[in-house]
A and B are shown apart, each in its own frame.
Chain A
């Protein structure tokens, strides 16, 4: 009777555990195995190459270029995108007209797919018939008009800005939720103590928002470093390798050059880098909070 009841309890979690084991744990283990092999994904034979794939990664110039590109996009997201998100959240955290309208509109880009956003902006930024260039010419800046996404000088920055446009709504919502948890009495008592608006912003808002900012920062880094669908839709990684990012390289290793082992090794090295980054930022934030 007791045994039957326990078995019954297991049945509740069984479907979830089964799906998780097959679609998460098995692939997870395979990544580490396959990373040690050279394999085209079709033939039954795999060649064991040990750490060969990882050694090759160390010298893979395009891979490290793509890492730098993702780092560049992430830096823009961390500074420009998150500063904008915070500024807008701060502006909306008060009795202000149209507050709900703004809140609704700022989260439209995040709910749209990266493909939709990428293709719409690609059309706006088109070198020959795009709206942006048309405006620039009309406004009297014809020499600013260019092929935004196929000019090596502007492609990466353009992609980074569109990425920020798509993503700032997330940070905005989280910052706003954070700002709203600050008790209004704290501002009151700061005012009673003679603090002006700037001082109470510096002494009350900023310290209380540091944990939220760290959270948004970690989410931004993890999200932006791994972003790639927007880039597929906008540039496909070009011109040349100017907008390549790591996950795009992994996809190319798998689909383009049929090197499944190498793709897995790239995935492992990249995953380790991501974990290290978020760990460092977490530690850093704990120090900042204690100080």
Chain B
């Protein structure tokens, strides 16, 4: 007969092992970021010698140099501009479409909706090749507008899916009341449907914002001019040109990562929701 002390010890051991595993993995997730920030605060000479996490002195001027000379200030504003424009575009275009698919009757509505859904499932690796040709033909290559339109398209299907699922479950009574009061369809979309869809809109916003901020390959092939580049492309370009200027590169990386981490910490709830919703789609 095993004693209760045996079970207690066993349970304690198992619990300790579990905690140890979780702690080690959590540390591995955080440490590279701490190392990045630490490296961004060291001097050019120190960075190759001082292997401690704490810099001898905190050289915040690296950020100034990265922002001004490294051009990361410009790239940062570009990234902000692209992210904001694409997200606003997606919200308007996809909520209009989702409302149409959910509430309005017209021929071919199912067919069109399934077309968007099919696009979510079919992988087209290398779709950037024809997109490059297309933007070239439309004279939209190397323009902010071309990039924004292409990125709106990238987020469209998933956003329409999430919003339509939400509208389908929304009670119709409020809309009926608004209609009786003489509200137009567009007015109902604007004043009834959109305000009610706050939580799902938050998921759509956060998801697309992360997606655009982190996007790399379209920006790489669309932009030739340095002054149009977003952060992600600028980072690899900078690394190629100034391969040894690690403190500035690390400052640039930190500048790129911080907004994402802040958004993530503030909106974690919506991101978790989006991941699980996205998984259901797949």
Binary contact track A86-107/B, C-beta < 8 Å → 1, others 0: 0110011000111001111111
Which A residue's beta carbon lies closest to that of B115?
A: A20
A115 touches B126 (CB 8 A): no
In chain B, residues 224-282, which have Cβ atoms closer than 8 Å to a Cβ of chain A? 232, 235-236, 239, 246, 249-250, 253, 256-257, 260-261, 264-265, 268, 271-272, 275-276, 279, 282
State whether A173 touches B276 (Cβ < 8 A). yes
Contact B97 A17 (CB under 8 A): yes
Q: Which of B32, B130, B217 is within 8 Å of A121, CB to CB?
A: B32
Q: Is the CB of A254 within 8 A of B129?
A: yes
Task: Give the complex CA separation of A7 and B250 in angstroms.
Answer: 54
Contact with B along A117-134 (1 / 0, CB 8 A): 101110110001101001
Q: Is the CB of B97 within 8 A of A113?
A: no
Contact residues on B (Cβ < 8 Å of other chain), bracket:
35 or more
- Annotate A13-33 by CB proximity to B: 1 below 8 A, 0 otherwise: 101110110111011101100
Query: How many A-B contacts are there with CB distance less than 8 Å?
Result: 241
* B124 and A28 contact, CB distance less than 8 A: yes
**Which one of A50-58, A150-158, A185-193, A270-278 is at the interface?**
A270-278
* Interface flags, B89-129, vs A, CB<8A=1, else 0: 00011101101110011110100100110010011111111
**Minimum C-beta distance from B102 to chain A (A):** 10
**Which of A71-79, A202-210, A215-223, A283-291 lies at the interface?**
A215-223
Closest 4 CB pairs of A and B: A12-B100, A267-B126, A27-B130, A16-B97
20 A-B pairs within 8 Å (CB atoms) are namely: A6-B107, A15-B92, A15-B96, A23-B149, A23-B150, A26-B130, A91-B18, A101-B26, A103-B272, A105-B26, A105-B30, A107-B272, A114-B214, A115-B232, A123-B39, A215-B279, A233-B236, A254-B126, A254-B128, A270-B125
Known: A8-B185, A20-B156, A115-B214. 15 other contacts (CB 8 A): A6-B107, A9-B104, A12-B99, A16-B96, A23-B153, A41-B132, A88-B22, A91-B18, A104-B268, A112-B214, A112-B257, A116-B253, A177-B279, A218-B282, A275-B123
Residues of A within 8 A of B (CB): 6, 8-10, 12-13, 15-17, 19-20, 22-24, 26-28, 30-31, 34, 41, 84, 87-88, 91-92, 96-98, 101-109, 111-117, 119-121, 123-124, 128-129, 131, 134, 165, 169-170, 173-174, 177, 215-216, 218-219, 222, 226, 228-229, 232-233, 246-247, 250-251, 254-255, 260, 263-264, 266-267, 270-271, 274-275
